[in-house]
């Protein structure tokens, strides 16, 4: 009986001590022991992220010792109050491009699809508590640069003119890229893709893809009037495209010119000799 009373008193004492510890030693008061904290950053710090226009962007927020607290993502627009994007695993934004993922490494990852220029700005990852802790992320959206150059590496703005029979050489240059390597570059004349064109013949495309940019050379032999039109260069997977108007002016085909010159010269040689002989014959008859 005395033994039973002892264990009952011991249990009551431990429960009382546990209640006191919860009141005086809460996880929020002992930050080093049980409070939620950001894994890679200190509260109030700003993480800078650069992304490509049109790409899928991820903003990371790794929180350890979250306990029963909730992680939310918010977006700031100028000096206005932040508006809620996600709360826990729920999406509060009407913009369907936003998604939230909770990964095994305590990462509450915000996804933004088809990133726009208007997405640039300040975002907040907030952990709920009596005094919320906040991690700021500033998103910068980079616009790729794309231009068409001629064979002299001069930029072509609106149109370019070639003579009939000449070789067309255009170069598409893409720069100011971040993130993943570009996929590939497509050349088009109006709606017809030229990269693997077999209908016309005499077309070649040479593309060089790099992490920071890309170049693609379009070469067309024997320019003809039907080659005139709008030519477009597009970097697939990114919002990068430009175009130029190509005009083919009537000109002398080099091969035809050679044939004509050779034939006319052959016909003119006897006439030249005759022109020289007539004066000599006239002198001999005097």
DSSP, residue by residue, 126-179: EE-SSS-EEEEEEEEEEPPEEEEE-TTSPEE-SEEEEETTS-EEEEEEEE---S
Tell how strand 159-163 and strand 240-249 pair up. Answer: parallel
Residues 133 and 159 in one domain: no
Q: Which residues pair with 173 in a beta bridge?
A: 147, 215
* Residue 126 and residue 49 in one domain: yes
Rounded to whole angstroms, the Cα distance separating 169 from 150 reads 6
Whether residue 191 is found in the same domain as residue 214:
yes
Q: CATH number of the domain at 86, please.
A: 2.60.40.10
Q: Give percent of the chain above pLDDT 90.
A: 48
Let me know whether 138 and 152 are in one domain: no
> What is the spatial distance between Cα 89 and Cα 99, in angstroms, rounded to a whole number?
9
Domain assignment present for 273? no
Residues 130 and 94 in one domain: yes
| Domain carrying residue 119 | 34-142
Residue 49: inside a domain, yes or no? yes
Identify whether residues 90 and 131 lie together within a single domain: yes
Q: What's the pLDDT score for residue 7?
A: 42
102 and 191 within one domain: no
Please give the pLDDT value at position 5: 54
In-domain check, residue 237: yes
Name the β-bridge partners of 148: 156, 172
Q: CA 110, CA 98: separation in Å to the nearest integer?
A: 7
For residue 179, pLDDT over 80 is answered with no
Alpha helix segments (H runs only) across the chain? 2-24, 254-284
241: in domain: yes
**Is residue 283 in a domain?**
no
177: pLDDT strictly greater than 80: yes
What pLDDT is recorded for position 31?
43
Mean pLDDT of 199-209: 91
Domain ends where: 101, 117, 142? 142
Q: Are residues 188 and 134 in the same domain?
A: no
Regarding whether 182 and 152 lie in a shared domain, the answer is yes
Tens of pLDDT, residues 21-78: 343 334 444 444 468 888 878 877 899 999 988 889 999 999 998 888 999 999 987 6
Q: How many domains does the chain have?
A: 2
Residues 203, 119, single domain; the answer is no
In a domain, 115, yes or no: yes
Q: Is residue 8 part of a domain?
A: no
Q: What confidence score (pLDDT) does residue 37 get?
A: 86
Q: Is there a domain that residue 215 lies in? A: yes
Indicate if the pLDDT at residue 266 is higher than 60.
Answer: no
Residues 195 and 138 in one domain: no
pLDDT at 87: 93
In this structure, are 104 and 152 located in the same domain? no
């Amino acid at each position: 009986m005395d033994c039973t009373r002892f264990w009952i008193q011991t249990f009551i004492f431990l429960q009382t001590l546990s209640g006191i510890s919860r009141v005086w030693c809460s996880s929020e008061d002992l930050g080093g022991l049980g409070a939620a904290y950001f894994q890679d950053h200190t509260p109030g710090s700003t993480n800078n992220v650069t992304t490509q226009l049109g790409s899928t962007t991820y903003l990371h927020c790794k929180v350890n010792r979250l306990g029963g607290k909730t992680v939310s993502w918010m977006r700031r627009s100028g000096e206005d109050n932040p508006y809620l994007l996600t709360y826990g695993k729920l999406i509060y934004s009407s913009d369907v491009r936003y998604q939230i993922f909770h990964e095994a490494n305590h990462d509450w990852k915000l996804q933004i699809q088809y990133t726009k220029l208007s997405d640039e700005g300040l975002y907040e990852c907030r952990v709920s508590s009596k005094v919320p802790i906040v991690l700021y992320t500033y998103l910068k959206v980079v616009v790729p640069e794309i231009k068409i150059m001629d064979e002299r590496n001069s930029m072509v703005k609106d149109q370019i003119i070639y003579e009939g029979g000449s070789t067309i050489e255009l170069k598409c240059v893409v720069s100011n890229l971040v993130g993943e390597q570009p996929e590939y570059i497509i050349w088009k004349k109006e709606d017809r893709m030229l990269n693997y064109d077999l209908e016309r013949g005499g077309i070649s495309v040479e593309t060089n893809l790099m992490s920071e940019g890309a170049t693609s050379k379009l070469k067309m032999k024997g320019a003809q009037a039907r080659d005139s039109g709008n030519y477009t260069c597009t970097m697939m997977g990114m919002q990068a495209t430009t175009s130029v108007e190509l005009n083919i002016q009537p000109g002398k085909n080099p091969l035809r010119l050679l044939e004509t010159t050779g034939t006319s010269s052959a016909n003119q040689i006897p006439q030249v000799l005759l022109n020289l002989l007539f004066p000599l014959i006239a002198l001999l008859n005097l």
